[in-house]
Amino acid sequence: MIQTYTFSAAGGHAANEDAFVLRPDANKEGRVVALADGQGGRAGGARAARLACEIAGQHATWDESLGWVEILTRADVTVAQDHEAGFTTLVGLRVCADRVVGASCGDSAAAVVCGEQAPRVLTSRQFKNPPVGCGAATFVPFEMKLTRPWKLLAITDGVWKYAGWERVWDCAARLSGTELIAELQSAAQLVLTGEFQDDFTVVLLESE
């Protein structure tokens, strides 16, 4: 059984340009996650993020035979064909009891704390450019065998950039569920105002 927790909020501006999809996979035993961070500074980032997640989530849920590079490439092409959509990052993954597999482009991240192993950023080899929505994004696959107990975090850069990776690892080692997410929120918020400096999104999956 996999426990799931999510949180997403705008930071630095009124509209949240992050998006995510979290669904049971086709055989209901695992979970499918797609997470995206629309590129700021130009129009259509929020639309691009939402559309990319929707398309990736649909393909991954409907057909487990598709590889993640193919799934995310289809999402990239669909976003590029939408004239109102801009650019975005995109992480897509499927996790079951003992395995995670996925692919990514951009600077959003998927990270794992797993048993006695050292924490690992699954998306560390990804490319930020060309971005999703240009129709030519490069997606880098990843895969890892999971050992219980494990925690998997899909996060946008508003989390790891402002909380810092050391704080992410510390929180993930000590805390679980909503307490873990609340601690990450506190780490990323401005001290005086309590506001986020950038859009902040966490999708947390944990083994029971």
pTM for this structure? 0.97
Residue-number span of the structural domain to which 166 is assigned: 2-207
Are 130 and 138 in contact, with CB atoms under 8 Å apart?
yes
Residue 76: pLDDT band with limits 50, 70, 90 = very high
**How many distinct structural domains can be found in the chain?**
1
CATH of the domain at 7: 3.60.40.10
Q: Write out the two tokens for 32.
A: 């499918």
Cα distance between residue 13 and residue 146, in whole Å: 37
Dihedral in degrees, nearest 10, Cα atoms 204, 156, 35, 8? 70
How remote is the C-alpha of 86 from its chain's centroid?
A: 18
- Tens of pLDDT, residues 193-203: 999 999 999 99
Residue whose C-alpha is closest to residue 76's, from 147, 144, 130: 130
Dihedral angle sign, alpha carbons of residues 120, 165, 178, 104: negative
User: 85-112, pLDDT tens digit by residue?
Assistant: 999 999 999 999 899 999 999 999 999 9
